[in-house]
Amino acid sequence: MKVPFADLFRQFKPLVPEIQIAMNSIIERCAFINGPEVQQFERHMAKWIGLPEVCGVSNCTQALEMTMQALAIGPGDEVITVPNTAFPTTEAINLTGARVVFADITPGYFSIDPAQIEKKITSKTKAIIPVHLYGIPADMNAILAIAKKHSLYVIEDCAQAQGARYKGTYVGTMGTASCFSFFPSKNLGTFGDGGAMASADTGLIKKVRMIANHGRIDKYSHLIVGTNSRLDTFKAAQLSICLNHLDAWNQQRRDAAVLYEELLTPYKGIKLPRVPEGCEAIWHVYAIRHAKRDELTAYLKKQGIDTGLHYPMPLHFQPVYESMGLQKGSLPEAEAACAEVLSLPMFPGITDDEIQWVSKAIGDFCKQ
Ligand SMILES: Cc1ncc(COP(=O)(O)O)c(C=O)c1O
């Protein structure tokens, strides 16, 4: 049996007629930029997540960069985050002119270790960016307590975590601000790039909205130098339709994770992903760990099973960060995770047969 890593069309297919009607309506009105669908989606998402306001933008990388810009983070400042994330998390810090400071992850988990954050705080530290990697919430209470003690901003990287809950609360509602990605394969994905910034601080959202729209205060007045990072009307309309299905899609991912856990638990050598107590993951990625990850990947490929790597190289080993001089062993938990993680097929609509086939193949590998 062939099992894809993800199957977007399987997910979107039932919604295509509704999306096409929405697209046709936008074409007829030529409302491609800042059409009413953008505000409608922003209100829809704000209501869904439980915040007063959300700002739709072009992508999560710019959402992170613009949020830091709005918080006046820039040259001379330091921002703490993890090395086992997508490059855009740290790229956004660099784009503001601030310095990236890496903190290791909690042993046995994938998110930033609050104890390690404390060790990295200096007089230059301005913010912490916890990444809710794979859709598993980071240890927010501990992170928020540290931030409060040292007067730091917390910017939640929710690119992979639309709908994950930390002790009953949606991630993205606890920090100073939060940034979301609507890259097509994300739990809430669009037909291209897209993103959003959310915050309980409507003044901060106003600033990000202004930066995202060329620093405008009205059509012909520009208060600051901003950029062009608006969410397209087409994408906003499609996102609104898909947002109605996000909770159900996340539930399908959770059901798939439960089945993987049940089937994979007996096998030796596999470490299954753990969710902190009281949290609800939304499994953007279902990443297991195995000491012979690359051999397992090749074995699964031969059985027709596609897998992914999130992420094979900790960011402090990327050529672009060579000048940081961080040697092997400097962030051991994240380094070990990057060497061992393997993302299994996971998407709404994945069948029990597919999960059983993947799990059986992993079991056969473990028995060799
Ligand atoms: C953890 C994380 N942060 C940020 C981003 C950047 O998102 P975007 O592609 O929307 O700019 C991604 C995208 O892959 C991500 O996974």
177-208 pLDDT, tens per residue?
Answer: 999 999 999 999 999 999 999 999 999 999 99
Tell me the C-alpha distance between 276 and 264, whole Å: 19
Using CA atoms in the order 44, 45, 49, 54, what is the torsion angle rounded to 10 degrees?
-120
Label residue 368 by pLDDT band (50, 70, 90).
confident
pTM greater than the 0.85 cutoff: yes
Which pLDDT score, from 0 to 100, does residue 359 have? 98
Mean pLDDT of 135-148: 98
Which SS3 state, helix, strand or coil, does residue 249 take? Answer: helix
Amino acid in the structure at residue 216: R
Which pLDDT score, from 0 to 100, does residue 244 have? 98
Nearest CA to ligand 1 atom 8: 60
CA 356 to chain centroid: 27
Mean pLDDT of 267-285: 97
Which pLDDT score, from 0 to 100, does residue 4 have? 98
Tell me the C-alpha distance between 66 and 148, whole Å: 22
Our mutation pick for probing the ligand 1 site, out of 85, 179, 183, counting the most ligand atoms within 8 A of Cβ, is 183
Tell me the C-alpha distance between 180 and 135, whole Å: 12
Closest CA to 157 of 167, 172, 170, 169: 172
Tell me the C-alpha distance between 147 and 111, whole Å: 16
Amino acid in the structure at residue 227: T
268 Cβ partners below 8 Å, 6+ apart?
366
197 Cβ partners below 8 Å, 6+ apart?
54, 55, 57, 63, 66, 67, 177, 178, 179, 180, 205, 208
Label residue 43 by pLDDT band (50, 70, 90).
very high
Distance (Å) from CA 194 to ligand 1 centroid: 10
Amino acid in the structure at residue 236: A
The tens digit of pLDDT for each residue in 91-128 reads: 999 999 999 999 999 999 999 999 999 999 999 999 99
Which pLDDT score, from 0 to 100, does residue 32 have? 97
Q: Under a CB-based contact definition with an 8 Å cutoff, are residues 212 and 69 in contact?
A: no
Mean pLDDT of 79-94: 98
Nearest CA to ligand 1 atom 14: 86
Tell me the C-alpha distance between 105 and 337, whole Å: 9
Closest CA to 86 of 143, 139, 160: 160
Tell me the C-alpha distance between 106 and 225, whole Å: 39
How many beta carbons lie within 10 A of that of residue 272, not counting itself?
14
Which pLDDT score, from 0 to 100, does residue 249 have? 98
Tell me the C-alpha distance between 163 and 120, whole Å: 30
Label residue 257 by pLDDT band (50, 70, 90).
very high
Query: For strand 53-57 and strand 165-166, is the pairing parallel, antiparallel, or unpaired?
Result: unpaired
Q: Under a CB-based contact definition with an 8 Å cutoff, are residues 305 and 356 in contact?
A: no
Which SS3 state, helix, strand or coil, does residue 220 take? Answer: coil
Tell me the C-alpha distance between 233 and 235, whole Å: 5
The alpha carbon dihedral of 145, 173, 178, 131 has a sign of positive
The tens digit of pLDDT for each residue in 298-351 reads: 999 999 999 999 999 999 999 999 999 999 999 999 999 999 999 999 999 999
Q: Under a CB-based contact definition with an 8 Å cutoff, are residues 26 and 237 in contact?
A: yes
Structure tokens given for 158: 């929710």
Distance linking the first and last C-alpha atoms of the chain: 21
Q: With residue 128 as reference, give the H or E element that holds it.
A: strand 125-128
| Residue with the two structure tokens 């009281």 | 278
Distance (Å) from CA 230 to ligand 1 centroid: 16
Ligand 1 neighbours by CB, cut-off 6 Å: 59-61, 85-86, 88-89, 131, 157, 159-160, 181, 183, 193, 195
Our mutation pick for probing the ligand 1 site, out of 81, 133, 160, 343, counting the most ligand atoms within 8 A of Cβ, is 160
Q: Under a CB-based contact definition with an 8 Å cutoff, are residues 132 and 158 in contact?
A: yes
Distance (Å) from CA 182 to ligand 1 centroid: 9
DSSP lists the bridge partners of residue 127 as 79, 153
43 Cβ partners below 8 Å, 6+ apart?
none
Distance (Å) from CA 68 to ligand 1 centroid: 16
Amino acid in the structure at residue 9: F
Tell me the C-alpha distance between 186 and 209, whole Å: 23
- Of all residues in the chain, what percent carry a pLDDT higher than 70? 100
Q: Give helix then strand counts, H and E, for the chain.
A: 12, 14
> In this model, does residue 292 exceed pLDDT 90?
yes
